[in-house]
Structure 1
Amino acid sequence: SASTAGEDGNERVLSYGDVVLLRSDLSILRGPHFLNDRIIAFYLAHLSAAFEGDDDGDLLLLPPSIPYLLSNLPDPDSVAAVAEPLRLASRSLVLLPVNDNPDASVAEGGSHWTLLVLDATNGASRPRFVHHDSLGVLNSDAARQLAAVLRPLLPGAANGAPLVEGPTPMQANGHDCGVYVIALARAICNWWRDRRGQQQEGGADWFDTVRKEVDAESVKAMRAELLHLIARLIQDKEDEKKNKSAIQLPSCPSIASTSLRL
């Protein structure tokens, strides 16, 4: 099975939506290692799945490859063409992981992950960008670049779509920035779900929810939580395969239903 086969780091262990996780990704999660874009894309896809029943598609969680591509396209026309299917201007909340890789030709480059949120929860005419950086302002240049690329895609923004820094707990090491990004994304999704349920527990924005739910302890626990989630999804797929195999087996007539002739 995928979960017990050899130790080849490139061995595929799970396909989830458009994301394929490798055995080496499990080693990264066991840590302490810098998260790659596959792991972040996987968890954001998992969070997105909880909102698939929404009719309006107000919430959008993008895999890291899309914001990075948008930041590095050569001209506004290319940006508009790539972004058109995303319908950014019609969303209330868009979560965009930001990487500081300065060279698009280097795969999995960069040394820091942060989260940029396009927040239009107060209306399409008053959007803002909120940047969450677990190392202060280390990624502010990359966040500003991405926000500048996206602003022309928000024609209804009467306020110029300002960029503000959101409250973010500080990481205490050099490898957990990606874990902070997914912990922040989970907190924001929790706030969004409560807001959609009209519970209003999170207040006017998600800042209080982040303060309550994201800290060094919850971030530390997330690596184990992801490993457990991946193991459960692998097992679910294996059980599904077994069930399909059992259904497809030809049925043999039982002795009780067979007439024996002597």
Structure 2
Amino acid sequence: MNSNSKADPISLSFHDSCLRMSDVQLLHGPHWLNDQILSFYYEYLSHVKYKTNNDLHFIAPEVTQCMKYMDDQELELLLGQSQATNKPFIFFALNDNESTEAGGTHWSLLVFSRPEKTFYHFDSYGNNNTSNSVELMNKIKELLGQRQAKFRPMRCLQQANGYDCGIHVICMTDHIADYLNRYEMIDGLPPLHIDAVKAKRTELLKLILSLGGKG
């Protein structure tokens, strides 16, 4: 990406996220979604859609990425600052990236349910990200007071191409958050419908424009 801000102006600044025009362009075509788009959406869920539901906690992908490489003290501080240690439900947008830099090739979703003492993993491309998600769970479960928590890989809608994993993570986040909002548990979650995935890029573009962003 061009770091020259004149060549790539800001489309939208929203809470802790910043979308440049090149980020928004990813929604126009069959492109892999980057950290910025997922971060923006998690900010929107936190500050707008689920602002009044304190049970749901959305951790931005760049924070999740850093968590993989933090020591216990740093992690404890981070989780404490974000008040995640007591949250009933925590969403992690997870990347297969092996470094602290932005990047990677695949997104999946890890959701911690405190009432069910379980980390649920949703992967739209087989079980590609399982080792990454188990690693993150093992790193944080004690800090969340859940040493005995189980890991449960979930069957979920599979992507039909090589670039829609980020869209699937966003749609699954919506789908699960809506279900939790009503039932306060993940067990029994119905499958995600393909129509939600097909419509999501257009919905995200409309959302960005409605918040004052430029498309």
TM-score (norm 2): 0.89
Deviates more, 1:223-232 or 1:7-16: 7-16
Q: 1:83 aligns with which of 79, 86, 109?
A: 79
| Structure 1 outlier segments of 4+, above 6 Å | none
1:195 matched to 2:183? The reply is yes
What's the offset of the Cα at 1:167?
Answer: 2.5
| 2:161 equivalent to 1:173 | yes
Partner of 2:125: 135
Q: Give unpaired runs (5+ residues) of structure 2.
A: none
Kindly provide the CA deviation profile for residues 128-161 of structure 1, in whole angstroms up to 9, marking residues without a partner as x: 1000000111001110111011112122x36x11
Task: Give the root-mean-square deviation of aligned CA atoms.
Answer: 2.0
Q: Is 1:179–1:223's contact at 8 Å kept on the other side of the alignment? A: yes
Match of 1:92 among 80, 88, 91: 88
Tell me the number of residue pairs that the alignment of Structure 1 and Structure 2 aligns: 209
Structure 1 alignment gaps of length 5 or more: 1-6, 197-203, 238-262
Identity of aligned residues (%): 30
Deviation at 1:112, TM superposition (A): 0.2
Deviation, 1:87, is 2.8
Match in the other structure for 2:52: 53
Larger of the two Rg values belongs to structure: 1
Distance 1:8 1:223, change over 3 A: farther
Equivalent in the alignment of 1:120: 114
Separation (CA, whole Å) in 1 of partners of 2:7 and 2:133: 32
Decide whether the 8 Å contact of 2:110 with 2:119 is kept in 1: yes
Offset of residue 72 of structure 1: 1.2
Structure with the bigger percentage of strand:
2
Q: After superposing the two structures, state which structure 1 stretch, 141-150 or 77-86, moved more.
A: 77-86
Please tell me whether the aligned partners of residues 91 and 110 of structure 2 are also in contact (alpha carbons under 8 angstroms): yes
Distance 1:145 1:76 in 2: 14
Task: Give the SS at the match of 1:149.
Answer: helix
Secondary structure of the residue aligned to 1:208 is coil
- Give the match for residue 227 of structure 1: 205
1:201 matched residue in structure 2: none
Q: Distance in 2 between matches of 1:78 and 1:99?
A: 20
Asked whether the equivalents of residues 79 and 85 of structure 2 are also in contact (C-alpha less than 8 Å), the reply is no
Per-residue deviation, 1:185 = 0.5
Amino acid at match of 2:170: I
Q: Structure with the greater relative contact order (CA < 8 A, sep ≥ 6): 1 or 2?
A: 2
| 8 A Cα contact 1:40 1:178, kept in partner | yes
Structure 1 position 8, deviation (Å): 5.6
CA distance in 2, matches of 1:171, 1:8: 35
Distance change (3 Å), C-alpha of 1:141 and 1:9: farther
After superposition, the Cα gap between the structure-2 partners of 1:207 and 1:177, relative to the gap in structure 1 and judged at 3 Å, is farther
Q: What letter matches 2:82 in structure 1? A: L
